[in-house]
Amino acid sequence: MSSSSSSSSSDEQGSGNGNGNRGGDYEGPSASRRRFVDGVWPEPFVESLAYQVAIDASNSSGRLAAGPALFNLFQVCSTWREVSRSELLWQNLTGQIWNRHRLPHPHTTWREEFIFRHRTARNFRSRRYHYSTLHFNDNINGDNEDENEGEETILSCRRLVLSDNHLAAGFSDGCVRLFSLPSRVHLSTFRPHHRDRLGRFSRAVSGIILSETRVVFASHDGDIHVAPVGSNVVATRRSVYGDVLNDGALVDFCGSNRKWVGLYAGVPGRAFHVWNGESEELIFVGGTLTDPEAVMGWHLLTDLTEFVGRVRVTNQELAIACTSLRVIVFDLGNLGFIISEEAPRRGVIVGSVDTNGESLAMVDNRGLGSVRLPETLQEVCRFMVRGVGGGGGGGGLVGCMNLGYVVMCGGGGIVRVWSVDNGGGGDGEYLYGMRERIGGGGGGLGFGNAITADERHVAAWSGDLTIHLWDFGAR
């Protein structure tokens, strides 16, 4: 996108929202505008027009269409081009189109941030990235301590989570290893507190919540630990003491600074636990989603088996949870109330389910993928994952999504990318497979592997003791 290609802001009444998940109210044109002079449109009007043009283009043709639409609009005359200097315009557009509401660096402008997000999304579409691998040092922070009590170590990465500047990787040994994205360096390792274990993998990491200030991670035995990010002292604190016998195994964990959500399997009627993320107080227990998967939940304590269930949280504080048999959405503001649910006829490959905060992506056991609106589970886009089918296992398929793309990895270790941001629904477009294959030994991708993506990075683990990182924002 050219440096003048940009975005716009909406009128004071708000903007249209083509598919229901983008748009929003414009905060108003910038102050100190020139007023109407004979024959000249007032700048507040032009700014509102620019915003509406960008939002309409994004809703009808995808987010990448907003920049060219603005570029054309700003060529009308010098007065209209002057509107492209409005920081408030760019701030509103960056928030509505790219879901970015704070600047990553104090000296960055909103115009620069919009252009960076546009270029990064375009790089994603055209397979333009920088590839690297991340390695961890098991001598850092005393990581060479042997806590396996003579057992053979099976080190598998169970969860990967990205923030703006960090990558957190949670392993089967209960540790979370933190990496710097700018430097690709292993910064620190957060260890769980010692306790008696009810199974070889009871302490394996089952979920991570990562921000720039703290990391919260949970294990299969139900323990939840909290540690600061960026501190010179690695101080891990146990916030929640798990009770496996009464709750079952904690099979997945996610959330935000406001709410933590745990998905359990093993004890009837206790599928969901919700905590206040600020006070760390348990505020809800209930749900029957995982009652049929009770035995699989208990097996997670002793075996590195397939995914039992997944839970994800959207920007609207909706929790999306699934097993291979059922998908439900419930409101974290009205705990216990199910907004929508579905039992897909062909079942769900649990490892393929993810959300970008606005939409939900999942793949069934025949390889048919779909992008849904969380509130209704209405399908807005579909795509086909080849090589999946039969047996219901999905061949170890794991997947993730960001605002415009779905990323899947299965047998053969090929990471494949689909564009699903076409604005008006329909079929997603298969774009490419990453040039680098991942996987140890024969290159297959087994259960227990992890993949994650945001608007700039894709990170994956495949059992070869290496974290693979693709950076689409590298200049």
pLDDT tens-digit series, residues 184-236: 999 999 999 987 778 889 999 999 999 999 999 999 999 999 999 987 777 89
Compute the average pLDDT of residues 14-32.
45
Domain boundary residue among 90, 108, 126? 126
- Residues 147, 18 share a domain: no
- Mean pLDDT score of the chain: 84
326-338 pLDDT per residue, tens: 999 999 999 989 9
pLDDT at residue 80 in the model: 77
Number of domains in the chain: 2
DSSP 3-state helix, strand, coil percentages of the chain (rounded to 5)? 20, 30, 50
Domain boundary residue among 126, 147, 164? 126
pLDDT at residue 104 in the model: 85
- Residues 147, 113 share a domain: no
Give residue 408's domain range.
Answer: 130-471
pLDDT at residue 153 in the model: 56
- Residues 318, 207 share a domain: yes
pLDDT band at 120 (very low <50, low <70, confident <90, very high): very high
Q: When comparing pLDDT for 400 and 440, which is higher?
A: 400
- Residues 204, 243 share a domain: yes
Given a cut of 80, whether residue 342 has pLDDT beyond it is yes
Domain boundary residue among 107, 126, 145? 126
Given a cut of 50, whether residue 12 has pLDDT beyond it is no
- Residues 410, 331 share a domain: yes
pLDDT band at 149 (very low <50, low <70, confident <90, very high): very low
- Residues 88, 115 share a domain: yes
pLDDT band at 139 (very low <50, low <70, confident <90, very high): low
- Residues 122, 269 share a domain: no
Given a cut of 60, whether residue 4 has pLDDT beyond it is no
pLDDT at residue 406 in the model: 96
pLDDT at residue 79 in the model: 73
pLDDT at residue 474 in the model: 73
- Residues 230, 371 share a domain: yes
Given a cut of 70, whether residue 145 has pLDDT beyond it is no
Q: Pull the structure tokens for residue 276.
A: 């206040």
- Residues 242, 136 share a domain: yes
Give the whole-angstrom CA distance, residue 14 versus residue 318.
Answer: 23
Given a cut of 60, whether residue 15 has pLDDT beyond it is no
Residue 242: partners with Cβ closer than 8 Å, 6 or more residues away: 219, 221, 222, 223, 224, 250
Which strands make up the sheet holding 186-190, listed edge to edge? 157-162, 166-171, 176-180, 186-190
pLDDT at residue 41 in the model: 53
pLDDT at residue 1 in the model: 46
Compute the average pLDDT of residues 87-96.
93
Compute the average pLDDT of residues 4-11.
38
pLDDT at residue 250 in the model: 97
pLDDT band at 110 (very low <50, low <70, confident <90, very high): very high
Closest residue by Cα to residue 7 from 82, 97, 126, 80: 97
Given a cut of 90, whether residue 105 has pLDDT beyond it is no
Q: What percent of the chain has pLDDT over 70?
A: 83
237-246 pLDDT per residue, tens: 999 999 999 9
* CATH number reported for the structural domain that contains residue 446 in this entry: 2.130.10.10
pLDDT band at 25 (very low <50, low <70, confident <90, very high): low
pLDDT band at 40 (very low <50, low <70, confident <90, very high): low
Given a cut of 70, whether residue 37 has pLDDT beyond it is no
pLDDT at residue 359 in the model: 94
396-422 pLDDT per residue, tens: 789 999 999 999 998 778 899 999 987
pLDDT at residue 475 in the model: 64
In three-state secondary structure terms, 4 is: coil
pLDDT at residue 464 in the model: 72
Give the whole-angstrom CA distance, residue 159 versus residue 354.
Answer: 13
- Residues 220, 102 share a domain: no
282-313 pLDDT per residue, tens: 999 999 999 999 999 999 999 877 789 999 99
pLDDT at residue 27 in the model: 55
pTM of the model: 0.86
Query: Residue with structure tokens 């748009």?
Result: 23
- The three state secondary structure string of 95-138 is HHHHCCCCCCCCCCCHHHHHHHHHHHHHHHHHCCCEEEEECCCC
- Residues 166, 90 share a domain: no
- Residues 364, 262 share a domain: yes
pLDDT band at 114 (very low <50, low <70, confident <90, very high): very high
Q: When comparing pLDDT for 444 and 223, which is higher?
A: 223
In our burial notation (b when 16+ CB lie closer than 10 A, e otherwise), range 170-205 reads: bbbbbbbbbbebeeeebbbbbbbeeeebbbbbbbbb
317 conformational bin, left if phi > 0, alpha if psi -120 to 50, beta if neither: left
Angle subtended at Cα 360 by Cα 211 and Cα 436, rounded to the nearest 5 degrees = 70
Give the whole-angstrom CA distance, residue 29 versus residue 87.
Answer: 10
Given a cut of 70, whether residue 424 has pLDDT beyond it is no
pLDDT at residue 448 in the model: 43
